[in-house]
Amino acid sequence: MSDPELTLAHPIGNIQAYGDSFRALDDVIYVIEDEQVDHVVIGLPLLLNGDEGKSAKKARRWASNLVKRINRMVEDGDIHLNTTPDVELMDERLTTVSAHRQLHEANIAGRKHRPVVDQQSAVVILQSALDRKER
């Protein structure tokens, strides 16, 4: 999530996907509804050379399904949103490396990185999007 001024990203927790990220769609949608999110940034795991591999295609498919599911749930009256959020895909290459570095700089022991590295990676992705928007 970000602050209301759209300057600082911060973690709000993990959503369990249990090996299948498509199972997490409804949980993500409920966060969108609870927080009245108007913009969603999804990491796009490009290959190091910039090409899209299987993971990037899966991320695009997940984003597309998120939009479809939100629209269906709004139409059916299952959720109530002030505005339908924009969904943006953002290059996430090397965000995990950056997240580990930030956690190390915060004096969090390496063995304690695993439970929070995904949250920190998400913060890095969102902060990059916020910084780009500010420019």
**pLDDT per residue over 73-85, tens digit each?**
999 999 999 999 9
Q: Answer whether residue 112 shows pLDDT above 70.
A: no
Q: Answer whether residue 4 shows pLDDT above 80.
A: yes
pLDDT at 51: 94
CA–CA gap between residue 6 and residue 13 (Å, rounded): 19
Comparing 46 with 100, which gets the higher pLDDT?
46
Band (114; pLDDT cuts 50, 70, 90): low
- Residues 39-57 have pLDDT tens digits of 999 999 988 898 999 999 9
pLDDT at 7: 93
For residue 9, give the nearest of 110, 109, 90 by alpha carbon.
90
Band (115; pLDDT cuts 50, 70, 90): low
pLDDT at 42: 94
Q: What are phi and psi of 97, to 5 degrees?
A: -60, -45
Q: Answer whether residue 135 shows pLDDT above 70.
A: no
Comparing 95 with 62, which gets the higher pLDDT?
62
CA–CA gap between residue 100 and residue 94 (Å, rounded): 10
Is the alpha carbon torsion for 128, 132, 134, 135 positive or negative? positive
Alpha helices for the chain (secondary structure H): 25-35, 54-75, 95-105, 114-134
